[in-house]
Structures are given as structure tokens and as C-alpha cells.
Amino acid sequence: MLIKPKYIFVFYALFLIIASIIALKTFKITYADTNITIDSITVKSDFPKNIVFEINAQSSEEINTIKIEYKVVEGRSTSYGYADFENGKKVEAIYNLPTSSGQGFIPPGTKLTYQIEIITSSGKTLKSEKSEFTYFDNRFEWSTLKNDSTIVHYYGPTKSRAETILDTTTNTIKNMSQLLGINQVKPITVVAYNNGRHMASALPKRSAAISQDLVTEGTAWPDKRIVLVLAFGETFAGITGHEVMHVLISDAAKHVYAAIPTWLNEGLAEYANFESSASYAQSLAYAIFTRKLKPIWYLQTFSGTPNEILIAYGQSKSVVNFMIKKFGEKKIAILMQELQKNPAIDQALQTTYGFNQHGLDSEWRKSIGLDPLPNPKELEEIQEKRRNELKEITKEKDNEESLETQSSPQINETDSQEIITEPISANCNILKPRNTTNENTTEIGSISFVLFPILFLAINKFRKRKK
């Protein structure tokens, strides 16, 4: 259809008016058969505490209930809450959806759909149309870059970094989807922060030990397809790859994602990190040197001191790299398929590789020049024997300080740091030590790069002579 030039302006004006109406968060809905009118619905961010819903409505009857139904666009379940207001024929209601609490944590960048239901005293109801709202950190003015597979939100003069994040995410999706056996990937949203202080407010609350000794450089919410990245420093692109990989692992594992052991989850994520932190390799070397290397079946979640967590990251990365280097990339996709059939990791490993976690741990230890550990049952017997021996020793000690020092029930001695008992990978984090606060990190680096290579060569030389 052709439009005469003199009508173009009229059509353009109408288009702007219609677009403006659609874009408004505030609108009016009336249904004659219910005598209920929703005068306005306003949704706004009160970061980091709440998403605020403000509803103005009126009716010929008393309104006694206003229900807000909401759902994360990528989520599976719909939730609801009830607004606060005084009952009446004309009401002003407000509902605060908490965004920073526990299991209900909502990260910035999350897109929600919502619907408002008004109920009168006689039971008449009115539902609004479903609408969308994206929750942002309203301290900043956000800009967006996107393509078919990736959405990047950023602020400030960091467009070049945002472009790098966009390219990294797109390439990670392309390359790692093949590794994991994924055919289709829904878009992933990355929210880029310029510094750690800004991003700290956007993260779930952590224990004092994590906050003081470890810096969170990135974190992912696979169920929401949201990634937060600290877009500062030299390794931000690698961090992006790590966090995006967590979302892809969730896609590959599907309904059994929660059953994936953390050593496999974080190890695969580090495989996608092409700028991995040197602190992980340092921590692994330190663990080998100090005999603090745990069996991988102990790493279903990461907990312990900050140093033990860094060791777990380094060990997981090394184990997964060994699996891929020795048995090939194709096995990883098969492993994911087996986990979907049976989420028991030992059974999935046995079917895919021909050994369980103990067998994998043994093969990996041999590859780095260490002796294999006893099987889990024998190891537990050794532990129990050691516990009993330590109990006997502590009976002979009179002062409390000696008791605390000698009676550790663990295989490995624990550093005098705060113990982190929460599962570190609940939200798939990438962590590094704080340079200014963690003195033990300096110890790890100096020991691993100076003493460990010398000692390792000496041990190998001794073993050869012994043979």
C-alpha cells in the first residue's frame, strides 16, 4: 500500500502517540461488568532492597484484596504477594518485593513479568494485562549492547569493555556449547560493573571470611540466565567466559544441574576461562607441598578457609583439564547426558570413563606425580583410627590451647582462619584473594614458586632411587 506524502506526518504522529502509551508503566484499565478500575500501576527499582509496585484503583464496591503475581522471565514458577492498603472504594496500594533475601535473591538485570488482580468485598475480580519490568541497579544510568545470543548492560565510559564482554560471551556460547552437547542456547544477560565496591551491593551477603579475604570477580544465576562481571582489570574477559560457562552447564545438565558436584562445575567453568587467575595454580601447588590436597569426592561443595577454597578451585581446574586432555572433549557431552539419566556422579563417570571419582582422583594424582589415595572406605577407616589416636593424645593434655591444636578430626590441618561453611558455588562464583588483606596468599605464592619445585624434584629423584 502506498501512502501519499501529505499523510505521512499524520501517520508518524499517530505512531509516536501509540508507542508512548505502550511504553508507560502507568496505565488505566476499566471493565464495566465489574465496576473496578485500575487507575495506575507503577513499578520501580528500590535497589538493592526491593522492587516496588504502586497501584491506584477504585470500584463501586469496597476493595479488600490486591494480589501481585510475578515470575522471572526465565524462571519456571510464578510467585505472588499481597499489597498493603486500607480497604475502601478508592485505594492506593503498595507492595515491596524483596530482592536481597536468601533464596528469593533477585540480581540486577533480571526481567520479570507481572499481573495485578483486584478483588472486591463481593468477590468480583479484575486482572490487568501481563507486563514486563527489568530490575536495575538504579544508582547508575545503564546502556545496553546486544546480539541474538547476548545482552550486555553497562554504565559509564566503558563501552569498549562492554563490546569485549559481548564478543566473549558470544564466542563462549559458540565454542562451549559443542563441548557440552548443547544444540540451542537462549540469550544470556551480562551485567558489567566498573569496580568491586559498586558490585558488592549487587551480590548476596557473604560470610566475613569471604568479604575480607576473597574478592568476588563474577557470579552467575543459571536459572535466571544472569551473569554479573567485575569489568575491571586485565582478566575481565576470562571471568566472563567462566561465568557464562555456568549457565551453559545448567543448559547441558537440565533438571539435574543442582546435583552436579562443585569440582566438576567449577572445573568446567575454568576450562572456559582463557585468562585464569594465577592464584589457583599457586594454591594447588601449595596444597601439594603441604599435603592439604583433598580427594575430589570431598569437593561436592567448596567450604573451609579462604585458602582451602582457592585450593579447591585450582584442583578442580586441574582435574577437568586432565579429563579433557587425556580422554578428549567429546566425553564431556556424554558425561552430561549420563548425568541426566542418573545424577549420581560416580555412576555417570563409570559409564563414561570406566572409573568413579576415586578412580579419576587416582589417575589425576598419578599424572602429577603423586601416589593414589586409598578407596573411600579404607580412607574413612584411616581417618577414624587417626581420630581415636588424637582423642587419646588430648586426654593427656591439660590446657585448652593444646586441646584445640591437637584434636582436629580432619585429614588436613586447618589454617587459623575463619571457616566458611556455606556452599561457595551456590551462585557459581569466581574468587581471588585480596592482595591487601590475605597474608596467607603471599605465603602460598612464595612457597609454591620457590620451595615447591625444588622439593618436588627432590622427591621424584628419591622415588627413582628407591625403585
Which set of grid coordinates corresponds to residue 104?
A: 528469593
* pTM score of the predicted model: 0.79
What band does 43 get if pLDDT is binned at 50, 70 and 90?
very high
pLDDT of residue 8: 44
Instruction: Dump pLDDT digits (tens) for 337-387.
Output: 999 999 999 999 999 999 999 999 999 999 999 999 988 888 887 777 777
**Dist. CA 269–CA 278, nearest whole Å:** 15
* pLDDT higher than threshold 70 for residue 322: yes
Torsion from C-alpha of 445, 449, 452, 458, nearest 10 degrees: -170
**What is the percent of the chain where pLDDT is above 90?**
65
What band does 176 get if pLDDT is binned at 50, 70 and 90?
very high
The matching CATH number, chosen from 1.10.10.60, 2.60.120.10, 3.40.50.720, 2.60.40.10, for 24-134 is 2.60.40.10
**Dist. CA 71–CA 124, nearest whole Å:** 24
Which set of grid coordinates corresponds to residue 111?
A: 526481567
From the list 73, 446, 119, 111, the residue with the least C-alpha distance to 285 is 446
H helices then E strands: how many in the chain?
15, 14
Which set of grid coordinates corresponds to residue 251?
A: 543448559
- Region of 326 (left: φ > 0; alpha: ψ -120 to 50; beta: rest) is alpha
Which sign, positive or negative, has the C-alpha torsion 297, 299, 305, 308?
positive
Instruction: Centre a 10 Å sphere on the Cβ of residue 238 and count the other Cβ atoms it contains.
Output: 20
Instruction: Dump pLDDT digits (tens) for 269-298.
Output: 999 999 987 889 999 999 999 988 999 999
**What residue ranges do the domains of the chain occupy?**
24-134, 142-380+412-461
Q: In this structure, which long-range contacts are made by residues 38-46, counting pairs with CB atoms below 8 Å and at least 24 apart in sequence?
A: 38/116, 38/118, 38/126, 38/128, 41/116, 41/128, 41/131, 43/114, 43/131, 43/133, 44/138, 45/135, 45/136, 45/137, 45/138, 46/96, 46/138
- N-to-C CA span, the chain: 90
What band does 397 get if pLDDT is binned at 50, 70 and 90?
low
Query: Considering the chain, what is the average pLDDT of its residues?
Result: 84
**Dist. CA 30–CA 8, nearest whole Å:** 33
DSSP 308-365: HHHHHHHHHHHHHHHHHHHH-THHHHHHHHHHHH---HHHHHHHHHS--HHHHHHHHH
Instruction: Dump pLDDT digits (tens) for 402-455.
Output: 444 443 334 443 333 444 444 554 457 777 776 633 434 444 444 444 455 555
Q: Which residue has the cell 485505594?
A: 91
Instruction: Centre a 10 Å sphere on the Cβ of residue 39 and count the other Cβ atoms it contains.
Output: 16
From the list 372, 456, 380, 440, the residue with the least C-alpha distance to 411 is 380
Same topology, domains 24-134 and 142-380+412-461? Answer is: no
- Residues 109, 226 contacting (CB under 8 angstroms): yes
**Dist. CA 228–CA 184, nearest whole Å:** 22
Q: Are strands 226-230 and 188-193 parallel, antiparallel or unpaired?
A: parallel
The matching CATH number, chosen from 1.10.1760, 1.10.357, 1.10.3470, 1.10.390, for 142-380+412-461 is 1.10.390
Give the 3-state secondary structure percentages of the chain, helix then strand then coil, rounded to 5.
Answer: 45, 25, 30
DSSP E strands in 150-205: the ranges are 150-155, 188-193
